[in-house]
Amino acid sequence: MQGAENTEKQQLSAPLRARMWEYRIISVIVCAFAFWIAAKGNWNKIPVSIATVVLIIGIAIWMLGSPDDYNGSTDICSMIAMDCPRKIEEFYEAYKDVRTPLGSAYLVQFYTMKQPALMFGPDKNGDFLYFWLSKDGNIGYLGYSFMTSMIKGEYNDPIFPAEEDFGDNTAKYVCYQSDVLLMQKQLRESLEHFVKTKQVLEIPQSRPSEVYTFTEDFKLTGQHFDLCDNEGNRVFEIEGTALLHTLSVYDDQHNEIFKMTKKIVSVLPTYQFYYLGELYGTLEKKFVLVKNKFEMKVKEGKLELTEYAGSIGHNFCVTLNGKTLGTILDNLDLKMENIVFDNAVIIAYEEKYLPLLAAMAVMVARELARDRS
């Protein structure tokens, strides 16, 4: 850990290193004050409650200190370190001719900030990405939003508009826009590359994807889930035993494709996945603050299931060697079945991995139910 911290310090400019240590010192003082409050109150309920709030504030201050800490706490907004003080205009000049699924970049003014921001979008559903710099120009932030009412005005117009069909796949569902979150990740990588090399990485056009609904039904003998396509046709059926030790994914002919068994004796939740009767891999939960994360080694490489930190509900991204295979998104439509059960919307970018995504969705529902209990 010490080595990783030293590497991070070397990558930060002098002003950012000073900022990092300033935030960390303040964080330690605030956390120490939280323990003092609890001890002074003899660890009674009210002082401990106040101390808990103060402790959370102290931890939040620590996470604001550097890009690595900040980006580890949220996926909806990213912090990007600058190598020297920058101006938003140089990013506009670099990205104004770059085609992205949300169109090219242009400058706007938000009601919530004094300085102009670089914006991509919005698409027809109102989703957009925006990038702005801190007052001293040493830090950049890349955010996602759908609140177009916060846009005060535009300094110029985009040269290229957003793709006409971008976001259509999830337009009828109340959930996060997976394609926008994927583009945000790609844009962050491009911006970081530009800061280091002054070269812009192209943003790939939106990838074809299919949308599926994942719904749970109540059964006395265990859990039952259906995975249906965009037209409501059932693609997979998932059955779980009453103790939820074993979960199986069946096709429309009721042939078992995937089976998951949970290890009873393990420190953190661990599942063994079987594909067509053969061991596919072992999915293990990792100890990570703020968000849930699981990893599994498979023949193709490393498979990761990571929660989008900072998002509403529970939303997950499935990647293989860093490439996004699909997402499992909370169905946020306020219907009784969505409130009672762990229903979701699954976006599949690689159709051949759909059975795996279905198995992952079941595992997520299982873990969320365990956490609630």
Question: Coil, strand or helix: which one is 202?
Answer: coil
Same domain, residue pair 50 and 117: no
What distances in angstroms separate CA 312 from CA 37, 201, 307, one per listed residue? 32, 30, 11
Which pLDDT does position 334 carry in this prediction?
60
Q: Using the structure block, give the residue that is written with the tokens 């042939």.
A: 255
Q: Which pairs count as long-range contacts for 87-95, CB under 8 Å and 24+ apart, including other chains? A: 87/133, 87/137, 88/115, 88/116, 88/117, 88/118, 88/131, 88/132, 88/133, 91/118, 91/131, 91/140, 91/191, 91/194, 92/118, 94/194, 94/198, 94/200, 95/200
Q: Give the ranges where 64-155 is alpha helix by DSSP (H).
A: 67-73, 88-95
Contact at 8 Å (CB) between 274 and 286? no
Same domain, 22 and 145: no
CATH of the domain at 231: 2.40.160.200
Which residue do the tokens 């795996």 mark?
A: 356
Instruction: Give me the pLDDT at residue 5, please.
Output: 43
CA distance 26 to 22: 6
**82 and 165 fall within a common domain:** yes
Using N-to-C axis directions, what is the helix angle for 14-40 and 45-63, rounded to 10°?
170
CA distance 373 to 370: 5
Tell whether 233 and 358 lie within a shared domain: yes
89, part of any domain? yes
Residue 51: CB partners within 8 Å, gap ≥ 6? 34, 35, 37, 38, 41
Flag residues of the chain having pLDDT under 50: 1-10
**Residue after which a domain boundary falls, among 72, 95, 129:** 72
Nearest-angstrom CA–CA distance, 194 and 94: 9
The number of C-alpha atoms within 13 Å of 350 and in the hemisphere containing its C-beta is 13
In terms of Cα–Cα distance, which of 345, 307, 362 is closest to 176? 345
Which pLDDT score, from 0 to 100, does residue 331 have?
Answer: 77
Domain extent for 314? 210-372
**Gap between the Cα atoms of 328 and 317, Å rounded:** 6
Phi, psi dihedral angles at 144 (to 5 degrees): -120, 140
pTM across the whole model: 0.80
Other Cβ atoms less than 10 A from the Cβ of 313: the count is 14
Q: How many CB atoms lie within 10 A of CB 102?
A: 28
The half-sphere exposure of 190 on its side-chain side, counting CA atoms within 13 A, is: 19
Q: Say whether both 243 and 256 belong to one domain.
A: yes
CB of 214 closer than 8 Å to CB of 225 = yes
Sheet containing 128-133: order of strands: 77-81, 139-145, 128-133, 117-120, 106-110, 151-154
Residues 24 and 39 in one domain: yes
pLDDT at residue 76 in the model: 85
Report pLDDT for 35: 96
Domain count, the chain: 3
Q: What tokens does 52 get?
A: 């808990």
What pLDDT does residue 282 have? Answer: 92
Q: What is the pLDDT of residues 9-19, one digit of tens each?
A: 447 888 899 99
Is residue 111 domain-resident? yes
Listed in sequence order, the residues at least 6 apart from 242 whose beta carbon sits closer than 8 Å to its beta carbon are 220, 221, 222
Token pair listed for 110: 């938000």
